[in-house]
Chains A and B, each alone.
Chain A
Amino acid sequence: MSAALEISGLTKIYPSHRALQDVDLVVDEGSVFGFLGPNGAGKTTTLRMITGMARPTRGEVRVLGEDVVRAGNAVRSQLGFLPDVPAFYDWMTAREFMHFAGSLFGLEHRVIRDRTGLLLDTAGLGRVKTRIGGFSRGMKQRLGIAQALINAPRLLLLDEPTSALDPIGRKDVLDMVASLRGRTTIFFSTHILGDVERVCDSVAILDQGRVLTQAPIRELKARYARHKIVVEVTDDAPALAGAIAGRPWALDTAVSGSGSIEVTAVDIGAAQRELPELVVAHGAGLIRLDAGEMGLEDVFVELVGEGKA
C-alpha cells in the first residue's frame, strides 16, 4: 500500500515555543487516520504545514509523493481541507460557495453542478437557500466537509471536524466521514477519543509536539493489552485492594469512596481465578465484578501521562 502522506523529522519552532519536534508519520492511501492529541499538542500546526500554510523549521512533508513546499498547486489540487473553524463568505449561499470552490480547482461547470448537488444532499444542505451568514456552527462544519470534497480529493484533511458541535451535529459529521471510507484517504485531527475509535483505522497520538505512538487501532490496543477489572465489595475495600496489589498479575489498583476497586491486570485469567478467593478470604461480600479491555482512552491517558511525566 502506498503512502498518501509521509512526514519525516517535522519540526516547527516559533520564537516563543517549540510547536513540533521531529514528527514522523506515514498515512496509508485509503485509510481513515486519526491524529489524536490534547488541545495545544500541535495538531493544527501539523495540518498547516501539510497544506503549505506554514513552513517547517526542519523536516519534510510529502503528500502523494510530492514535497509540499516545492509542489504548491500540484499538491493542493489533490487535497481537500476543512479547517478547525471554517470561515466562508457570509454573503454566499452554500451552493454558490461550492461552485466557487469547484471553479478554483478548474473543474468543468457540469462536474461542479453534479457534485454540488450530491455533496450538499449528503451534508443535509441540499434544500437550504439562505446565505451562509445565517448558518449554525454544525451547518458550516458540514458545508466545510462538502466543499473539501468538491475536487474528489485523494487526501482529505479534517482539522477537529467535530469540536464544538452538539451531539447530533457531531453524529452527522462522523456519519459523513464514515461514509467516505474506501473512497479517499482521510486524515482526521481531533482531541475526542470516541470519534477516533468510531471512524478511524489507524491513529497517531501527539502530545507536546511529539508523536508518542502510531499504529492501527487494533494493534495499539493489543500492544497495550491490559484489562480493567472493577471489583465492588460490601466491606473493607482498602484492605482488599492492598491484597490485590500484592498479586503478580495486578499492575495497578485504585479504590474509590463507594467501595469499588479498579484493578489493571496484565493476566486476566489469573485475575479472574484469584479475585473471588481474595474477596472471600477478606470476609467481604461481592457486589460487582466487571472485566473489560482497555479502551483507546486508557491507552491515550497512559501515553500522554507518560509524556508529561
Chain B
Amino acid sequence: MRNAMMFARKEAFEIVRTWRIYVLPAIFLLFAITGPFIAKYTPELLTTVGGGQFASLELPEPTAYDAYKGWINNLSQIGLFAIIIIYGGIVSGERRTGSAILVLTKPVSRTAFVVVKVAVQAVYVAVLLVLGTVVTWGVSALVFGNAPAAAIWSSALVWLVLALVYLCALTLLSVVISSAAGAAGAGLGLFVVLAAASLWGPLAEYSPAGLAGTASTLATGGDVERLFWPVTVSVAISIVLVGIAAQTFRRQEI
C-alpha cells in the first residue's frame, strides 16, 4: 500500500513538473473565463456582425444559465477531446519509454500501477473542474449579477462522471494499444459512438451516452428526471474498465 502511495506521489509530481500542468488547465481556464462574456455579448455580436439579417429574431436576454451551458458544452466537446488525446498514452507512454520496467521490477504490482495512474489523473481532472467551475461561476456572477449555484455544480458533477468514463476507457485502450495516437484514435471513435447512442432514448437514459445532454440540461437550470441510472451505470462501467485494464496489464509481457 505504501509503495502505491509513493507511486501516486510520483504521478502527482509528474503533473506539476511537466507539460501536463499547462495544457488542461489552460483549456479549462480559457473556457471558464471567456464563457460568461461570450454568453453575455453573443446577441450584441450577432446584431453587429449580421446587421439587419437577425432583426426579425427575438433573442432572449442572456443569463448566467447561458454561460453555464457554454461551459459544460465546451467541456463536453473540446474538454473531452483534450482528455482523449492527453491520456491516450497514460500506460503505453511509460512502456514505450521503458520507465515502466524500472518501476515494475520493484515491489509495485501491475494493478497498483494502473489504478494509481487513473486515480491520480481523475483527481487532477476533478480539481481542474472545480477550479474552472468556480471561475465560471464567479465571472458569471460578475457579468450577470446573479449566478445560481445549483445548476452549474450539478452539471459539473455529471460532466465529471462522463470524464471519468473517458479516462477509464482511455486507460484500457492505452493498455491494449501500444501507440498513444492509436489509443487516442480509438477514444475519438468512442466519442462518436456515444454521441450517436445519445440519440436513442433508452441508451441515453441508462448509460454514459446521455450524460453530456443531461449535464447541459442541468446547466440551463432544467429538470432531469432520470439521473440515478446513467450516473450509476457510468460509475460502474468506469470501475469495470479499470478492472479489465489492470487484469489485461497483469497478463501482458513488458
Contacts and interface: CB of A to CB of B under 8 A. Distances in A.
Interface of A: 48, 51-55, 72-73, 76-77, 79, 81, 83, 85-89, 91-92, 100-101, 103-106, 147, 151
Contacts of A83: 98, 101-102
Nearest to A75: B107
A254 B106 CA distance: 51
Interface stretch (B6-14, B39-47, B82-90, B164-172): B6-14
B108 interface: yes
Nearest to A97: B102
A91 B17 contact: yes
A254 B254 CA distance: 47
B5 to A, nearest CB: 9
* SS of B interface (majority): helix
Interface of B: 2-3, 6-7, 9-10, 13-14, 17-18, 97-99, 101-109, 253-254
Nearest to B103: A104
Given A100-B10, A103-B6, A81 B105 contact: yes
Contacts of A55: 253
Contacts of B3: 103-106
A83 B101 CA distance: 8
Contacts of B10: 89, 100
B185 to A, nearest CB: 25
21 contacts: A48-B254, A51-B105, A54-B253, A76-B105, A76-B107, A81-B101, A83-B101, A83-B102, A86-B98, A86-B102, A87-B98, A87-B99, A89-B10, A100-B10, A101-B106, A103-B9, A106-B2, A106-B3, A106-B107, A147-B102, A151-B106
Given A100-B10, A103-B6, A104-B6, A53 B253 contact: yes
A77 B253 CA distance: 20
Contacts of B104: 53
Contact of B99 (A52, A72, A81, A89): A89
Contacts of B98: 83, 85-87
Contacts of B9: 103
Nearest to A12: B253
Given A51-B105, A73-B109, A103-B2, 7 more contacts: A73-B107, A73-B108, A83-B98, A83-B102, A87-B97, A88-B99, A104-B108
Nearest to A83: B101
Given A53-B253, A104-B3, A106-B2, A88 B106 contact: no
A172 B7 CA distance: 31
A186 B202 CA distance: 62
A87 B98 CA distance: 5
Nearest to B10: A100
A48 B2 contact: no
Contact of A88 (B2, B102, B105, B254): B102
